[in-house]
C-alpha cells in the first residue's frame, strides 16, 4: 500500500533553515495534491503549505514568505523548505498526499508519521 516517509526534522536555532522531505512509495497511479501540516503542543493542527499537481500553492498565514513547497514528480517526493525559523514553528510536521493508489481506485488521503521540528531561541 501507499506509504509516506518523512525526513529532515530536527533541532535548529532561531533564524536558521531546515528542509523536510516526504517520499511516497507503493502503488501510485497519481497524486493530485501534497500538503504539509503541523501541530504544536496544545494547539490545533494547521495547514503549513500545499501544492497541487498543476503547481498551485497555498500557505498558512504564519509561514507565508518564509516557507516554500516543491515537488519532484519523478521521485514522488514533496519538500518543505523552512527559512527564518522561529520558536513558534516548533511542532510535529505531517506530510499528506492525495493519492490514487490504483487504476480502478479513487483518490485517498495518506499521512506520514510526523517528524519533530524544534526551534530554539
Provide the CB-side half-sphere exposure for 22 (13 A, CA): 27
β-pairing verdict for 10-13 and 115-120: parallel
pLDDT at 45: 96
Sign of the CA dihedral running 61, 63, 68, 71: negative
Per residue in 36-90, pLDDT tens?
999 999 999 999 999 999 999 999 999 999 999 999 989 999 999 999 999 999 9
- pLDDT-based confidence at residue 102 (cuts at 50, 70, 90): confident
Rounded mean pLDDT of 17-29?
Answer: 95
Amino acid at each position: 500500500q501507499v506509504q509516506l516517509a518523512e525526513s529532515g526534522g530536527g533541532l535548529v536555532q532561531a533564524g536558521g533553515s531546515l528542509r523536510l522531505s516526504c517520499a511516497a512509495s507503493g502503488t501510485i497511479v497519481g497524486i493530485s495534491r501534497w500538503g504539509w501540516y503541523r501541530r504544536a503542543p496544545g494547539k490545533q493542527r494547521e495547514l503549513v503549505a500545499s501544492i497541487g499537481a498543476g503547481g498551485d500553492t497555498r500557505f498558512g498565514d504564519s509561514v507565508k514568505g518564509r516557507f516554500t513547497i516543491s515537488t519532484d514528480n519523478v521521485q514522488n517526493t514533496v519538500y518543505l523548505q523552512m527559512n527564518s525559523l522561529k520558536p513558534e514553528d516548533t511542532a510535529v510536521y505531517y506530510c499528506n498526499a492525495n493519492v490514487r493508489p490504483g487504476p480502478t481506485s479513487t483518490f485517498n488521503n495518506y499521512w506520514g508519521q510526523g517528524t519533530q521540528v524544534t526551534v530554539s531561541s
